Structure 1
């Protein structure tokens, strides 16, 4: 790919980023620079994250960098951005902790590698935008820049408050419910939500009149295909008249909404909170393809301002860059990713609710079409339509209900890594390491006490990251732990996603893992049931932010 043969999404410069996007006007890359401590930062310039000084300007850098992570994208996300092309995270020579997501141009995508020395070259995309791309640095004028080392995130772990009771001990999970889940159901998403909510209320042995709280993710402001309209739409439908509501995306993963409900119940504000999560991505995509749903093109804003202009349109691209760095540091783990996919499908074959139930082999996995290296088709989860609901109750109220309660042992929520898709740790899924460490600080249980793991698998690498982050094995030890699938099978040392996960059962965005954990602990799993589990761990969040929950039977 050359620097001029594509039509890219254009970023929307903001009051904070306009100078960055315009810096290529004179051929110089400019980055936020603290004049107090002489450190660099990207992308924000409101305050120095190192010394918290406010004397920050946009100063030129050499434009030289090192490829720290990359992926060769093979998926045609945009008609004007032909594949294949290389998306990369490059670490600047001046400061390895400052990185840009970009494209590597001036060479074949297959020539890009970790540690490659590159230099900036600009492409003007609009009157006010010069995109910093990078090409191989063959001048030999600078010493090769070493790769960024992993952050010592554990030094940031906050100790548990002493002398206080745990809010987790005050709540229980009393009901779970799920609507129909499938591909292109062409059903109103609010109807799916209502189906799941009514099922959860019935499962708990409650009535709608008992529900005094509503909680959801991401609320009414989420993108099309990712919700039913939030609290307003569901309250208008059910007329619960709650004493407390919550909906938003800035939570510790999708299941952070369930944690928020726990806090409301533990505080005494509510006794029974109905939590819900609805997706209809499959139907939304079908409506777009048929022309029934019209989307107006706009400039890239918010989180994707620094991603979409480089064709990094999907989490597949963003997370694949991390997988490449993991492979470079710890060794190629492609067969471990394949084992995760094969075991997920094997588990799904016994789950009547799963979307895809036909078994696959390692040969099937390896021969599947490439999406974004090292990810192929079976590394990616399945967009579906469906809703899942969960009831969080006060623990004293739960004991009077006919349902079997599941109790909460601990949550992991602390942000210990940089909240970013390219400035954070490069070795594992962003925001898996911090919440995992925080989880174990709130309990006396250890990884060996866990009987079943429900690990977010938006991509196979996500599940591998969570395995290592949670301490089931050392960093880089996931391949041996998985043991060609034997280690994570239903009768292995740690059964993982016995319902098939999102890779085969369908992407219900975190809530499906929570429901499966509850059913497993009750002995009511619809597919493969683990033998007498007492402790389950659930993770959610396909990146930033994320969270973890430890559940138990008694």
Structure 2
């Protein structure tokens, strides 16, 4: 990872998503010590179009035209191993010797699009859907429903309480308070969490990530073509197998590092329960022990043994679909996280995206 970049991020920015994309892309390219003419590959998720308003703001062809990039390889689509599957594809292309520098990007403008076009649920009701949706649509089943089912089952099997699980949202908010790019930075208390609007029992408002406008970009480079002085975050291993546990097992099988070596975790938090499931799948705590592990929040604070979602995650930082958490991991590993920098700069971080069979995980190491 030779360069990283992020555009302005916020709610209802009403900025053209191509502008957001260009801002992030040019920042990442400059951070890598490169120019657009050096980029010979592009990779994104989910491409130029998808099913709900603002879920994507630019595709490969858009960026190729915007920046005048001449590609030898490109990739973009929705059926990947998680949103960070676009980065895994870039790693493979670079490692295969097809390209030297791949620009990976992810742009969303959901909050503005919902103002202009309509909500996600309203729009999905008007478009063609998968055949399997006939069994759920009639009952009003949506993403929060699935999150609630996972959370209900987890609480039943583990004995976890809402007070324990609340630490995911509370910790994200505490870290977001130190992140000037986070969208929700005001204090959040346990009372606020427990009294919040219930979305789908036991998922409350603060268990749900927040739609935003913004773009994040990375440059993946061959180690022998990396400009001197660039960021140089290393990829130790990745997991792309279907299923969170299978994904983690694959990742750990491809490295001599172990869960005990991980010094920070940037885990997908579309709903707070997803982070709980990732903590256990990755072996960062014992099975059905995540609620006890995070109880009180000390272990996952910036000063704890496993700092978690150090920029506020998607719950408070904004829904940047895994790319935001990857960006925060790179900042921490390079010592550039400012006020929220972990003491004793970490050397190993794990990042995840997605849930269920739509999942991926990557193990990152600090540049030497």
Aligned to 1:459: 271
Q: Give secondary structure in 1 for the equivalent of 2:268.
A: coil
1:324 aligns with 2:164: no
Normalised by the size of structure 1, how large is the TM-score? 0.64
Check whether the contact 2:269–2:313 (CA below 8 A) recurs between aligned residues.
Answer: yes
Q: Give secondary structure in 2 for the equivalent of 1:537.
A: strand
Aligned to 2:83: 254
Check whether the contact 1:455–1:540 (CA below 8 A) recurs between aligned residues.
Answer: yes
Check whether the contact 1:183–1:283 (CA below 8 A) recurs between aligned residues.
Answer: yes
Aligned to 1:156: none
Q: For 1:525, which of 311, 318, 337 is the aligned residue?
A: 337
Aligned to 1:234: 63
Tell me the distance in 1 between the aligned counterparts of 2:319 and 2:128.
27
Check whether the contact 1:226–1:279 (CA below 8 A) recurs between aligned residues.
Answer: yes
Tell me the distance in 1 between the aligned counterparts of 2:83 and 2:66.
22
In structure 2, list runs of 5 or more residues that go unmatched. none
Aligned to 1:345: 173
Instruction: Pick closer, same or farther for the CA change 1:266–1:467 going to 2, 3 Å.
Output: same
1:437 aligns with 2:249: yes
Tell me the distance in 1 between the aligned counterparts of 2:11 and 2:110.
9
Q: For 2:135, which of 306, 316, 322 is the aligned residue?
A: 306
Q: For 1:499, which of 302, 311, 330 is the aligned residue?
A: 311
Tell me the distance in 1 between the aligned counterparts of 2:193 and 2:303.
22
Aligned to 2:11: 183
Instruction: Pick closer, same or farther for the CA change 1:509–1:476 going to 2, 3 Å.
Output: same
Aligned to 2:47: 219
Q: How does 1:74-473 map to 2 (within 5 A)?
A: 173-223=1-51, 224-289=53-118, 297-298=126-127, 300-302=129-131, 304-313=133-142, 315-398=143-226, 400-415=227-242, 431-473=243-285
Q: Which has the higher contact order (CA 8 A, sep 6+)?
A: 2
Check whether the contact 1:498–1:527 (CA below 8 A) recurs between aligned residues.
Answer: no
Tell me the distance in 2 between the aligned counterparts of 1:286 and 1:527.
34
Instruction: Pick closer, same or farther for the CA change 1:195–1:376 going to 2, 3 Å.
Output: same
Measured after TM superposition, the shift of residue 243 of structure 1 is 0.5
- How many correspondences in the alignment? 363
Q: Deviations over 1:487-510 (max 9, x none)?
A: 111111100011110010101011
Measured after TM superposition, the shift of residue 306 of structure 1 is 3.3
Q: How does 1:13-52 map to 2 (within 5 A)?
A: none
Instruction: Pick closer, same or farther for the CA change 1:342–1:237 going to 2, 3 Å.
Output: same
Identify the structure with the greater strand proportion: 1
Instruction: Pick closer, same or farther for the CA change 1:374–1:527 going to 2, 3 Å.
Output: farther
Tell me the distance in 1 between the aligned counterparts of 2:149 and 2:125.
29
Identify the structure with the greater helix proportion: 2
Aligned to 2:295: 483
Aligned to 1:545: 358
Tell me the distance in 2 between the aligned counterparts of 1:354 and 1:286.
20
Aligned to 2:349: 536
Report which of the two structures shows the higher radius of gyration computed on alpha carbons: 1
Tell me the distance in 2 between the aligned counterparts of 1:345 and 1:229.
29
Tell me the distance in 2 between the aligned counterparts of 1:183 and 1:413.
32
Check whether the contact 1:274–1:391 (CA below 8 A) recurs between aligned residues.
Answer: yes
